[in-house]
Amino acid sequence: MTEDKTTIVEFHNVYMTSRNGKVIFQNLQFQLKPGHTAVITGGPGSGKTTFAELLIGEQFPDSGSVELFETVLKPRQRIINRIRRKTGGVGGIFGLIPSLTVAENIAFPLVLAGERKRVRQERLLKMLTEFSLINRASDYPHSLTRVENTLVQFARATIANQPLVIIDEPSAGLDKVTAKRVFEYLVKVSLSGRSMIILSSEKPAQELPSSEHYMIKNGELV
């Protein structure tokens, strides 16, 4: 049987420095296969946010390459847009759009994907129900609590069944009950066959299916 070499994400010898010359990543290698989850931990300033920015074309490495869905990310809007349509995001750089309502934010990936109105409405109702946000559907992000904002981001990140979901600090600001609820939802996403990259200050207390753990240390993943 031939080994499946398909990957969702690949970092090849990524080297990157900050604006003040500090080395963020050096010879960084990383690979994520379809249906797997990578949990990447690191303290403040370790490069977690930069890692997320590299994944969606917000930044580009000084040398080496970042490849998603077998496409090398380059500063070309057409390539970046194509990659982002396949990627959902929560936390950090993946904030809600202030000028859109909760419902509009959640449905936005379906609009980008060109889904029919009926499909958008059906999936939106499902997500609003799943995350207990029906009463907030017509509200704007500025009026949400931190917990509600996070739940809207989770709903938006998964409504279009994107094959990759990037989550920056999944339980930040959540109470224990909501954090448990979010973890159960992450299990569901994982079992659906989608891939996830979870960036966290600490290793999660519970294990997700098909997950591997990494730590950013001295600019490398160990």
Cβ atoms of 41 and 216 within 8 Å: the answer is yes
- Is pLDDT of 28 > 70? yes
Residues 6+ apart with CB under 8 A from 101: 137, 138, 139, 140
- Is pLDDT of 1 > 70? no
Q: Closest by alpha carbon to 154, among 138, 171, 134?
A: 171
* Domain 1-86+163-222 superfamily per CATH: P-loop containing nucleotide triphosphate hydrolases (3.40.50.300)
**Measured between alpha carbons, how far is residue 198 from residues 69, 79, 90, 91, 157 in Å?**
18, 23, 9, 10, 13
- Is pLDDT of 21 > 50? yes
Domain parsing of the chain, residue ranges:
1-86+163-222, 101-161
Cβ atoms of 56 and 87 within 8 Å: the answer is yes
**pTM (predicted TM-score):** 0.93
